Amino acid sequence: MIPSYLNPKGIQWTVYLGETVGLPNVCDMNCPTCVDDYGALDINSSVQDLRNKRASNWKFPEDWEFQEEWKLSIKRFFSERNETIRSFVFTGRGDPLFYIPVIKAYMEVYKDLGIKGHGVINTSGSLLTRSMISSLKDFGINEIIINPLASNFNSYDKISLVKEEMEVSVEAPLIPNCRDDLFSMLPIIEDIGVKNLILSFAEIYSATGISKMRKYTGKAPEIIKQNGVSFVDDKGIGKEIKKEVLKKRYSYSAYITKANTLQ
């Protein structure tokens, strides 16, 4: 079954942390496909990425409050739609786990409004602890999606930890340079028991993003464009991996996405 957050027949309310809630983007990892550049004017623009610096001394602001206008927007959005497949997604250039009070507040609002849906968090998993996972479960989160590339494929212990409490999936950017690591990952996540493997085309928004990819791979990424968005050319490894998953009859489902759209 297609996960709700990828289902074309479903709808989702996505919170991009921290920018959409009036907070700075904060992240403690250095994933080669991720730069704080959603606001870049074009692919030739350079941006300053301060997320790691902020993470070193981050303290969630005690005066942060959920805005009434956000609640009204959520209520209006869902009241105008008839789809029954619904998701509450927490993602962004900031790792959502730096914003636990925000996640709690949003989940309480959904409950208060009587809106039911699948709560899911996209994260590197670096901050996950058993107690944090338990709290997230209590908030109503149903699934955590971990990006193993962010930790250079050293997050399998975190994936296993999540699996003990709730559904866990893996999202891996399709970078040709990571081909061997991606294929080596497949039997490991099968043994853990992940629900889904999401193979996403890496998006490029700025010259800073291209430079970061070059430092990781040793050369500038080959870029393809579709509907005005630039992606790293995966050289077909997405289809290769999906074929391997079917061949080995792994229990999890594999999906290829571009800009959160199934391919």
CATH number of the domain residue 171 falls in: 3.20.20.70
List C-alpha distances in Å: 188 to 159, 170, 192, 252.
10, 11, 6, 12
- The chain-wide mean pLDDT, for the chain, equals 95
Q: How confident is the model at residue 216 (pLDDT cuts 50, 70, 90)?
A: confident
User: Is residue 1 in some structural domain?
Assistant: no
Tally of structural domains, the chain:
1
**Cross-strand bridge partners of residue 193:** none
User: Is residue 2 in some structural domain?
Assistant: no
Q: What would the mean pLDDT of 104-115 be, rounded to a whole number? A: 98
Our separate counts of H helices and E strands in the chain read: 8, 11
Q: How confident is the model at residue 183 (pLDDT cuts 50, 70, 90)?
A: very high
Q: What would the mean pLDDT of 194-220 be, rounded to a whole number? A: 91
- Residue 108 has a pLDDT of 98
User: Is residue 42 in some structural domain?
Assistant: yes
User: Is residue 4 in some structural domain?
Assistant: no
- Residue 199 has a pLDDT of 98
Question: Which DSSP helix (H) or strand (E) runs through 146?
Answer: strand 141-146
Q: What would the mean pLDDT of 174-203 be, rounded to a whole number? A: 96
- Residue 259 has a pLDDT of 79
- Residue 133 has a pLDDT of 98
Residue 91's nearest CA partner among 175, 184, 33, 20 is 20
The tens digit of pLDDT for each residue in 4-13 reads: 999 999 999 9
Which residue has better confidence, 205 or 41? Answer: 205
User: Is residue 151 in some structural domain?
Assistant: yes
Assigned token pair, 169: 């999936």
Q: How confident is the model at residue 109 (pLDDT cuts 50, 70, 90)?
A: very high
pTM of the model: 0.96
The tens digit of pLDDT for each residue in 130-163 reads: 999 999 999 999 999 999 999 999 999 999 999 9
Q: What would the mean pLDDT of 178-192 be, rounded to a whole number? A: 97
What proportion of the chain, given as a percentage, has pLDDT over 70?
100
CB 100 within 8 A of CB 64: no
- Residue 138 has a pLDDT of 98
CA distance 182 to 207: 26
CA distance 97 to 49: 19
User: Is residue 17 in some structural domain?
Assistant: yes
- Residue 99's domain comprises 11-262
User: Is residue 236 in some structural domain?
Assistant: yes
CB 186 within 8 A of CB 241: yes
